[in-house]
């Protein structure tokens, strides 16, 4: 997984949110650390702005919506099969086949 800006959780440019996502850390903790280090080490602001311009936005993840579409198609297929099975089981042909099988 590459380092990207996270625009979904962005407060300013999304740099802290992207770093938090990359490290698996809490976004608030990364933001607090950034502000803290900005006071102690002023070039932190320069590096933040530099990263804001250098990092690309995180790619949009459409895999969830694609997975939902696949599940919807699968459930429609299952429903069709269940309806066909129900039609057969409740038909006269099924009753006749059952009587012949029981002989």
For 4-45, the pLDDT digits (tens) are 788 777 888 989 988 988 888 899 999 999 999 999 999 999
pLDDT higher than 70, residue 83? yes
pTM: 0.55
Average pLDDT, the chain: 86
pLDDT higher than 90, residue 46? yes
DSSP per-residue string spanning 35-79: HHHHHHSTHHHHHHHHHHHHSPBPPP--HHHHHHHHHHHHHHHHH
Q: Which of 46, 51, 10 is CA-nearest to residue 31? A: 10
Distance in angstroms (rounded) separating the CA atoms of residues 85 and 70: 23
| Residue 57: strand pairing partners | 5
């Amino acid at each position: 997984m590459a380092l990207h800006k996270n625009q979904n959780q962005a407060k300013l440019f999304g740099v802290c949110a992207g770093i938090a996502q990359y490290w698996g850390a809490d976004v608030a903790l990364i933001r607090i650390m950034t502000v803290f280090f900005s006071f102690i080490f002023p070039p932190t602001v320069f590096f933040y702005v530099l990263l804001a311009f250098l990092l690309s936005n995180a790619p949009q993840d459409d895999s969830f919506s694609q997975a939902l579409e696949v599940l919807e198609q699968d459930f429609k297929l299952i429903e069709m099969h269940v309806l066909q099975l129900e039609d057969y089981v409740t038909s006269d042909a099924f009753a006749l086949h059952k009587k012949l099988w029981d002989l």
